[in-house]
Structure 1
Amino acid sequence: MDLANIKDATEWFEVLQTSKRTQTAMMTLAPGDKTGPKAEAHEKSDQVLLMLSGKLAGTVGPETVSLKKGDILLIRAGTPHRFENPGRERAVTFNVYSPPEYPPGMKG
């Protein structure tokens, strides 16, 4: 068993748990912040993104997307994606990667 609490995440991106098959992480973007200068893809990992609070806008492959609290987005392996926070409050997401995408304990 590996128990973690999402409140323990202190960085804008932080891996919480890693096993052979899955990985959990938190991502928090302040108003106006972006995930990066360009879209990136996880070549081998699917990503499930759950919006816990705030809003995100971005692109997933050729499509544009707007996310709000409670939305769940599946990003398939190899799909370029990029997000920004257009809102006035922090955008907080809980993410699951399968298989793991990042080194255990990575902080961004």
Structure 2
Amino acid sequence: MKHKLCRFGKGFRVAFDLRKAQAAEMVLAPGDSEGGPDNRHRAADQWLFVLAGSGLAIVDGVRQRLKAGSLVVIERGERHEIRNTGRTLLRTLNFYTPPAYRADGEPLPAGRKR
């Protein structure tokens, strides 16, 4: 068993990972965004759950409003961006299958392990 108390400080942080899955926390300030038109995970699906705040997910050009309780699945290879469109912090918990990032938050090359 692994356990971590997520603190949800500003930015992106890998919480922990296993052989086939990874958890990360992401906090965006009002007006900030993560990703962009060329951002994609070539070898991992991303499950993004909104804990607090509001925002916008743009996945392969399709826009989806986000609010607390929203769950978005971004499939491997889909280009995506997450924007905070609200007035408070946008806090998300993200799961990647398989892991998509090194412990320091840098993306893993497609097909590579930690």
TM over 0.5: yes
The secondary structure found in structure 2 opposite 1:44 is: coil
Residues of 2 paired with 1:38 and 1:61: CA distance? 8
Runs of at least 4 residues off by over 6 Å: none
Other-structure match for 2:86: 87
Find the aligned partners of 1:95 and 1:83 in 2 and give their Cα distance.
Answer: 12
Q: Which moved more, 1:31-40 or 1:63-72?
A: 31-40
Q: Secondary structure at the match of 2:102?
A: coil
Moved more, 36-45 or 50-59: 36-45
Task: Could you tell me which runs of 5 or more consecutive residues in structure 2 were left unpaired when the two chains were aligned.
Answer: 107-114
SS at match of 1:6: coil
CA distance in 1, matches of 2:24, 2:67: 18
TM-score by structure 1 length?
0.90
Question: What is aligned with 2:63?
Answer: 64
CA distance in 2, matches of 1:70, 1:51: 5
1:3 maps to a residue whose letter is: H
Q: What residue ranges of structure 1 are gaps of 5+ in the alignment?
A: none
Map of 1:42-57 to 2, 5 A cutoff? 42-57=41-56
Contact 1:25–1:95, Cα closer than 8 Å, also in 2: yes
How many residue pairs are counted as aligned between the two chains? 106
- Note the C-alpha offset of 1:56: 1.3
Shift of 1:83: 1.5
Paired residue for 2:5? 5
- Scaled by the length of structure 2, the TM-score of the pair is 0.86
Tell me the C-alpha RMSD between the 2 structures: 1.5
